[in-house]
A and B are shown apart, each in its own frame.
Chain A
Amino acid sequence: MRRSVVRAAAAVGGLLVLAAPLHAQGYHVRWNTWFQSVAYRGVQQDSILAASAVAVPGGGFETPDGFAVSCPAGATYCGFFRPGAEQRGMPVVSTIDASVWGLGIEGLKFHVKGRVGGDLEDGGFWPGVEPEVQLIEGYAEYVKRDVTVQAGRTTVFSRLGYLGLDGGQVSVRPLRGKLRLRAYGGWALAEGAVLPITSPELNPLGEFRPTQRELAFGGSVGWNLAAFEGRVLYRRDFDPGADLVSGERGAAEAAIRPGAGFTVAGGVEYDFLTGNWGTHDVMVRYRHPGGLADVTVGERRYRPYFPVWSIWGVFSPVGYNREYAAAAVYPMAGLVLRTEGYLFNYEDTEAQTPLGVFEDGGWNWSAGGTYSGVQNFVFDANYRAQFGPGASSQGFDGRVTYRRDLFAVTARGGRLERPLEYRFSDAEVWSYGLRVDVEPMPGIYLNAEAIRYDETRERPDAAQLDWDQTRFSVGATLVFGSSGSRWRGLHPAILRLPETRRSR
């Protein structure tokens, strides 16, 4: 048990709660803590002497106790997997997001978003909770008319990804904001993490990663007009340890709103270092001005990006193209019916072989509806099916929510079929759960949920297993500030809207 995590979260949060109002004219703090208990059952690798394997009718071999084995020609041993022991993780994560301003210099603000987390089970089973203390953002911001400067640990959001930086960024908005210029630079954090690429948490095996933190620089030029927004972006990564460029990409994107409810948006990326076009997309959306329908059609090409210090890029990953459509109609008050689907196909890998036949495309389709026309109740049901290389699944779920003022209870259930890739013939999961949300006083939100999962994984050998479990979670969110909760002051009718409840 890592009680230190709980103590640290409580101490930091309590400090902020007490300290923020004392020293700043303005402050806003959002402090949320989640805890859940989840079980997982994996597999355990094993082997037997090839001579001990037993031939089974219809071909193939298995262990004397019935596990199918893989026996490479001429090998001494045959490999197989046994069902693993049930493992339980109990992650708890506390995140604090705080801003303070009014410290004597107009336009100056300090912002910090940090996280303390850990797994209360000793096995260290749950992913993503190491290290226990993570600084997601922590910067000073100074704004003067058309200029914004941030320094510290900040994040750059763009088509080229979410880049964490220990450095700074400057944005300038001349011509009354119609022109937008941005430049940034600093020591980069790894993609999808708040750790530098040199962290042992990201590279436990010591593979081909940079020995020093990468430097990242970039910028963008954008136009922001009434019916048109456009932007050109550039980013360059540098490995100071090797004294080499490790990434160089550019992108362009635009959104046009010609009116009458139409929006056209899209963009494209280019990798200057490898000479490859990257992800691109374009979509057209129509929203009926009276709110009767919402339709989107689009096309997207996705190509994975790997930095050149890894070997993965030279394996020539190919992209896939996806065509998609989504529609929602609102035929009567409180009712929305929706459907969405896409088809996707991988580009030619130039590696097809009769020794292994793999799908090169797939599809996804879902449909559902929500009805909130009965006072205090919301009914929701969804069906989804998807098929593609390596895996497929289909299932449905539904929920009923009853809400009275500051209290809500939701009952839900679902069924999922998911033949797992290359391992199980069929697997079926039934789930049913109950969730309670309470707002005991303005700015404090509490919830608790329990879900029961009954899962069966079918196989024609002894590796078949049942895996049933109950998951629990509790959460608390505290929002407060010098100007009150972000929700305080809304008209009660707005607070009763389903969208408002969900977006809390």
Chain B
Amino acid sequence: MKALVGVAAAAVIAAVVGTSPVPGVGLVPIQQFEHAKHEGVGCTTCHANVAQGQVYPEPSFCAACHDGQMQPRVDWRPPTGPSRANLKFRHSVHPGVSSCDMCHVSGGTVQRAVISQCQACHGIEGEHMDAAVSDCSVCHVQPPAPPSHAFDWRGRHAVNAAAAPEQCATCHVRADCLDCHRQDAASPAGGYHGVDYLQRHPAASYNRETECSSCHNVSQFCQSCHRQAGLVSAGAIGAGYHDGNASFIAGHAQAARQNLESCVACHTERDCLRCHVSFNPHGPGFDPGAYAGKNQQVCTVCHTAVPNPD
């Protein structure tokens, strides 16, 4: 008896709610649309305007069935505002994809686009997010630089980039690296080095702000400019560029061993060999056996008898 009363009460309440003129009362909130429950409804019944960029259906489409008579009413509104994803996919430019199933069905369930299907058509066979081997920009707009890149990042990124290149590859492709790591001879001020660097580069080089040879070939880049400016050795060692220090040649060994890459920017090998065929240039860390064991060629520039590697 109690059960019958309960059923009757529920039926009355349901009838009242179902015919309620007050909007929203008794609507079932929708958190996650279940495509499986709507198997009998074709895709285009709800997603009719997808080619016009309207991915989500109008709420009125739902009400065609969920009218409170055939099916319970539902409370659903399409999300508003810009997409949270950085996809730039548009259905309208994929006319060759004739069936929704081709991209949106995997394992028998309807879901967001199956990435491997996108990649298969776009000729990208690598893993998703393996940016080193694919073009992210095919499907994604690239995001702005993250906070980690906020200040002087270009000057300090080397350790991170060397130790964890996959992190860089999340956003960057190899062409981005080559924009700086292969010098662009005509890059105007404000590139990698920033404005005024032409004026500042002697001090920056001597003070090891960066190592020039990491990106520049000193023979091609530094030496050719220094030659035009009259800043290369012209043969008169001791009376030339270092005229601010009268005894430079006599005590230059310390400066040379500290900053040999700077010497090389102006001097050729023959400049140094003019004296050093007679004066021993070898210093700390020099192991003649190591050279002699694998490549004796450079030894023969000065030595007629090559050291025994043993």
Contacts and interface: CB of A to CB of B under 8 A. Distances in A.
A364 B209 contact: yes
A421 B244 CA distance: 8
Nearest to A97: B175
Given A93-B186, A431-B196, 12 more contacts: A26-B123, A43-B231, A92-B186, A103-B123, A127-B185, A173-B130, A275-B287, A291-B147, A310-B298, A315-B272, A366-B152, A418-B200
Interface string A475-494: 10000011110111111001
B259 A389 contact: yes
A344 B256 contact: no
A486 B183 contact: no
B201 to A, nearest CB: 10
A103 to B, nearest CB: 8
Interface in A338-358: 338, 340, 344, 346-358
A190 B156 CA distance: 25
B182 A136 contact: yes
B162 A248 contact: no
Interface string B208-228: 110101111111111011001
A317 interface: yes
A317 B124 contact: no
A144 B120 CA distance: 11
Interface string A93-120: 1010101011101111101010101000
Nearest to A146: B127
Q: Interface centre among B143, B234, B297, by most A CB within 10 Å? A: B297
A365 to B, nearest CB: 11
Contacts of B243: 68, 70, 79-81, 422-423
B174 A360 contact: no
B213 A320 contact: no
21 contacts: A70-B239, A72-B239, A81-B241, A102-B122, A109-B135, A130-B220, A136-B182, A192-B183, A207-B270, A273-B290, A275-B287, A308-B294, A318-B284, A344-B208, A356-B245, A390-B202, A395-B196, A433-B189, A435-B190, A473-B189, A487-B141
B230 A360 contact: no
A242 interface: yes
Nearest to B136: A486
Contacts of B199: 416, 418, 429, 431, 453, 455
Interface string A436-476: 00000000000001010101000000000000000101010
B305 interface: no
Contacts of A315: 256-257, 260, 272, 276, 281-283
A494 to B, nearest CB: 6
Can you list the 6 inter-chain pairs with the closest CB atoms, starting with the nearest?
Answer: A356-B251, A42-B229, A473-B188, A316-B283, A79-B239, A422-B244
Contacts of B88: 483-484, 488-489
Contacts of A137: 174, 178
A34 interface: yes
B274 interface: no
B47 interface: no
A314 B198 contact: no
Interface in B3-40: none
A191 B262 CA distance: 16
B119 to A, nearest CB: 9
A107 to B, nearest CB: 4
B207 A391 contact: yes
Contact of B124 (A101, A113, A244): A101
A42 B207 contact: no
A134 to B, nearest CB: 9
A163 B135 CA distance: 22
Interface in B240-268: 240-248, 250-262, 264, 268
Interface of B: 82, 86, 88, 120, 122-127, 130, 132-135, 137-139, 141-152, 156, 158-160, 162-167, 174-175, 177-178, 181-190, 195-196, 198-200, 202-209, 211, 213-222, 224-225, 228-231, 234, 236, 238-248, 250-262, 264, 268-270, 272-273, 276, 281-287, 290-291, 294-298, 301
Contact of B208 (A320, A370, A433): A320
Contacts of A117: 185-186
Given A159-B162, A310-B298, A127 B141 contact: no
B29 to A, nearest CB: 28
A366 B243 CA distance: 31
A336 interface: yes
B146 to A, nearest CB: 8
A302 B174 CA distance: 25
Chief secondary structure at chain A's binding surface: strand
A108 B268 CA distance: 45
Contacts of B240: 45, 79, 81
Nearest to B225: A127
Given A70-B239, A192-B217, A207 B268 contact: yes
A347 B255 contact: no
B189 A357 contact: no
B200 A143 contact: no
B123 A45 contact: no
Contacts of A19: none
B163 A356 contact: no
A359 to B, nearest CB: 9
A26 B164 contact: no
A141 interface: yes
Contact of B163 (A81, A254, A312, A494): A254
A356 B31 CA distance: 79
A192 B214 contact: yes
B211 to A, nearest CB: 6
Contacts of A193: 217, 220-221
Contact of A102 (B123, B184, B215, B294): B123
Contacts of A435: 190
B80 to A, nearest CB: 14
A126 B150 contact: no
Contact of B134 (A108, A143, A173, A356): A143
Contact of B273 (A311, A318, A483): A311
A191 B285 CA distance: 23
Q: Interface centre among B139, B167, B242, B243, by most A CB within 10 Å? A: B243
Contacts of B152: 326, 338, 340, 366
A334 to B, nearest CB: 12
A475 B205 CA distance: 27
A171 B205 CA distance: 36
A320 to B, nearest CB: 6
A388 B245 contact: no
Given A248-B294, A255-B163, A274-B290, A422 B241 contact: yes
Interface string A140-171: 01011110100000010111011000000001
Contacts of A72: 238-239
A126 to B, nearest CB: 6
Contacts of A40: 198, 225, 228-229
A241 to B, nearest CB: 10
A449 B188 contact: yes
Given A80-B243, A192-B217, A273-B290, A486 B182 contact: no
Nearest to B213: A192
A158 B124 CA distance: 24
A308 B125 contact: no
Given A255-B164, A503-B145, A451 B189 contact: yes
